[in-house]
């Protein structure tokens, strides 16, 4: 019996070509997309580089501005130096300044205290009441008591013009002090006390009623 061997129709020739066209179009779109992405990435990198450069430039400018001295730095330093240069020296601390009667005086008391005898006196004045002087009896100033019938050399005459400082009185006592010193209305002298204070006596005026000298005295604080 004859067999029906009708051959299968060949596939349409246009199908393979269409498939190839589709694949080619897909590959083109793919590489086009890749190229676009690469362009975007490159543009982003360029933008970052530009921004980084601007930041670096700004930082350098800020550092230079910060490092530059301010306009008020030099004047302030100059003003401080000038103020330190023109600072007045500290004056000697005065413990007491005022009038006293030159008899037996405790100059370590504040104010100076008049005593009844030379015991405990920083200085005392002996008036020669038995003298035949018609004007005012001669007088002598004595320093600190040194023991039985002795006196320490703690008074010294000041012969320079003006008033001495505490340091000058201290130096005068150290180099030129004596146990006793004749005094008149023109006398000016320094005294050292038992508590290591120094005093300056000046402006003596004879009180003929009381038979003593009045004077102006300055007592400085104790020397450290």
User: What total number of domains does the chain contain?
Assistant: 2
Residues 100 and 210 in one domain: yes
115 plus 170 within the same structural domain: yes
Cα(165)–Cα(109) distance, integer angstroms: 20
Query: Which single residue is written with the structure tokens 């362009």?
Result: 39
Residue 114 and residue 182 share a domain: yes
In this structure, the answer to whether residues 26 and 114 fall within a common structural domain is no
Residues 55 and 98 placed together within one structural domain of the fold: no
**pLDDT (0 to 100) of residue 124:** 97
Question: Contact, 153 vs 163, CB < 8 A?
Answer: no
Is the pLDDT confidence value at 3 over 70?
no
Residue 75, in any domain of the structure = no
pLDDT of residue 5: 53
| pLDDT attached to residue 222 | 83
Residue 82: inside a domain: no
Q: Domain range holding 45?
A: 15-65
Do the domain assignments include residue 86?
A: no
Kindly state whether residues 99 and 169 are assigned to the same domain. Answer: yes
Mean pLDDT lowest among 81-85, 170-174, 181-185, 197-201: 81-85
The chain-wide mean pLDDT, for the chain, equals: 76
The residue whose two tokens read 């402006």 is 203
Residue 29 backbone dihedrals phi, psi, to 5 degrees:
-65, -35
Q: Are residues 99 and 198 in the same domain?
A: yes
Report residue 36 as tokens: 């676009």
Residue 78 lies in a domain: no
* Higher-scoring residue by pLDDT: 188, 82: 188
> Considering the domain boundaries, does residue 150 fall inside one?
yes
Q: Per the domain annotation, does 80 fall within a domain?
A: no
Q: What is the pLDDT of residues 56-103, one digit of tens each?
A: 545 544 445 445 555 544 445 444 444 444 455 456 799 999 999 999
What was the pLDDT predicted at 92? 78
Residue 1 is assigned to a structural domain of this protein: no
pLDDT at 94: 95
Q: Which residue has the higher pLDDT, 144 or 63?
A: 144
Query: Which of residues 131 and 99 earns the better pLDDT score?
Result: 99
- Claim to verify: residue 165 and residue 115 sit in the same structural domain: yes
Q: Check whether residue 104 and residue 209 sit in a common domain.
A: yes
What burial class does residue 92 get, using C-beta atoms within 10 Å of its C-beta: 0-12 exposed, 13-18 middle, 19+ buried? Answer: middle
Average pLDDT, integer, range 21-37: 57
What value does the mean pLDDT take over residues 4-23?
Answer: 52
**What's the pLDDT tens digit per position in 45-58?**
565 454 555 445 45
Residues 54 and 162 reside in one and the same domain = no
Give residue 74's pLDDT: 46
- For the cut 70, the answer to whether the pLDDT of residue 133 exceeds it is no
Assess whether 104 and 211 both reside in one domain: yes
Residues 148 and 42 in one domain: no
Q: Is residue 4 part of a domain?
A: no
């Amino acid at each position: 019996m004859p067999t029906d061997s009708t051959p299968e129709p060949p596939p349409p020739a246009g199908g393979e070509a269409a498939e190839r066209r589709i694949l080619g179009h897909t590959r083109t779109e793919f590489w086009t997309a890749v190229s676009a992405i690469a362009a975007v990435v490159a543009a982003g990198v360029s933008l970052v580089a530009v921004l980084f450069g601007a930041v670096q430039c700004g930082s350098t400018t800020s550092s230079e501005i910060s490092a530059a001295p301010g306009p008020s730095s030099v004047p302030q330093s100059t003003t401080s130096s000038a103020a330190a240069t023109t600072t007045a020296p500290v004056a000697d601390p005065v413990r007491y300044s005022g009038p006293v009667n030159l008899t037996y005086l405790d100059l370590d008391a504040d104010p100076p205290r008049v005593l009844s005898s030379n015991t405990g006196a920083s200085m005392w004045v002996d008036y020669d009441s038995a003298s035949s002087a018609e004007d005012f009896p001669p007088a002598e100033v004595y320093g600190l008591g040194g023991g039985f019938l002795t006196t320490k050399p703690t008074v010294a005459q000041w012969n320079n013009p003006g008033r001495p400082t505490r340091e000058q009185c201290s130096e005068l006592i150290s180099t030129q002090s004596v146990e006793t010193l004749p005094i008149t209305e023109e006398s000016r002298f320094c005294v050292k006390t038992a508590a290591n204070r120094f005093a300056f006596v000046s402006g003596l005026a004879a009180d003929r009623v009381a038979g003593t000298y009045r004077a102006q005295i300055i007592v400085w604080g104790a020397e450290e």
